[in-house]
Amino acid sequence: MKKLILCICLATFSLQNHASNDPNYNQLAEVVNDNLNSKKMHGHEKLILSTMNWHKRSVDQLIETSRQLNTNEQRYVLNYAILKSVYAEYLIEIHCRPESIDAQKQAENIYQFLFKQQPNDRNVRYNLALFYARTSTSYRKDQNNNERYRLLKLAEETLYPNYQKYPKNEQYRNDYYAILSEQLDIVQTKANQRDEQQRLIDILKTPLFKILNNPKQNYDSGNFVILVQQYYKYLYSQNPKQADQWLISHKNKIENYVNTQQQNTQREYQFLAEFYALLNQPQKALYYLSKYDVTNVDAASPETIAKERNLANLRLNPNYQNWFKQYQLDYEENQKAYPPLCSSMQGNLDLPKQKN
């Protein structure tokens, strides 16, 4: 089943929240701890920017020094990088991409500095890998996917030593699988990467089948849905009939796992709408279509929905037609709000001016 949207779901950055004798260090750690999720930044933009501006000079001075930083200094700089990273994600969510890319570059320079200082520190390595992976989502709507793929390969390369050295660490393992799954999303569209597709499928079959056999596995439901979609697509490329049979035969297991989650994400709504349309259950498909949120940064465009072959069974359904017409209007209206929003934030929060 082709995905409408693929959005990597990773753990939050690993905060270095240790008490320090320096109140400035502790103040930064507190702000970062309260804003590890970019969704929490809404309404706190002035605090975030003032905090970054306040600590920027101290961080720059530490980075410019030629000496090895002590433990507290390293934690301080890492927390600053984390805050900058999450803020870059927030800017993407409100569709201020030029500003986000600038923040991404600043954060990457800081992470690279820390990695050179602490090449064997697994927490620094983990945060750098997450940075690459989460930054890659900024480029998933680009047509060629080159920058997205480059970042994902860097994420894999950076996280692999942790994954290999600490095989029982669920966080490392699940995030490593999520990064490979994102890569698979790209290589499945390229005819000249069949060997790479097979490599990724062979690795990712392990978590997929484990969850299907034991739904109590500790694994993000959205990433599980993505694995189902990708494996279905892999089977479909070889034998469409066999792929449909596989999906139908695992229907109950897929439903049971998704239904155990307390809250579904946009990715799951999109998958489930396609899933039930494919199974010719229009009422359930329409229910999940009604959950589509045009304000979500990953909202599927009307053009994408119109081309989705797995929704073909709904095309002549009057209820679907009414829903699609309204969704199209809401989507277009929502898109108009983004440029004024970025301009407003530039005026109120002294963000960098967009380049014409």
Question: pLDDT tens, 45-84?
Answer: 788 888 888 889 999 999 998 789 988 888 889 989 988 9
What region, left, alpha or beta, does residue 238 occupy, with left being phi > 0 and alpha being psi -120 to 50 degrees? alpha
Judge whether residue 334 has pLDDT over 90.
no
- Per the listing, tokens 């097979």 go with 198
Distance CA 98, CA 199 (A): 35
Judge whether residue 262 has pLDDT over 60.
no
Residues 6+ apart with CB under 8 A from 213: none
Report residue 220 as tokens.
């993000």
Residues 6+ apart with CB under 8 A from 302: 324, 327, 328, 331, 332
The pLDDT, as a whole number, for residue 11 is 45
Q: Let me know: does 88 contact 33? Beta carbons within 8 Å.
A: no
Q: Let me know: does 145 contact 186? Beta carbons within 8 Å.
A: yes
The larger pLDDT score, comparing residue 345 to residue 232, is at 232
Judge whether residue 249 has pLDDT over 80.
yes
What percentage of residues in the chain have a pLDDT greater than 90? 34
Judge whether residue 338 has pLDDT over 70.
no
- Quickly state the pLDDT bin for 333 (edges 50, 70, 90): confident
Helix axes 45-64, 338-349, angle to 10 degrees: 60
The pLDDT, as a whole number, for residue 145 is 87
Kind and range of the H or E element at 41? Answer: none
Could you give the C-alpha distances from 153 to 42, 67, 84, 125, 266, in angstroms and in order?
A: 31, 31, 22, 14, 26
User: What's the mean pLDDT when you consider all of the chain?
Assistant: 81
Judge whether residue 40 has pLDDT over 70.
no
Mean per-residue pLDDT for 244-272?
79
Q: What is the DSSP letter of 67?
A: S
- Provide the residue type at 180 as one letter: L
pTM for this structure?
A: 0.78
Report the 10 Å Cβ neighbour count for 180. 21
For 108-142, what is each residue's pLDDT tens digit? 999 999 999 989 899 999 999 999 998 998 887 77
Distance CA 191, CA 336 (A): 37
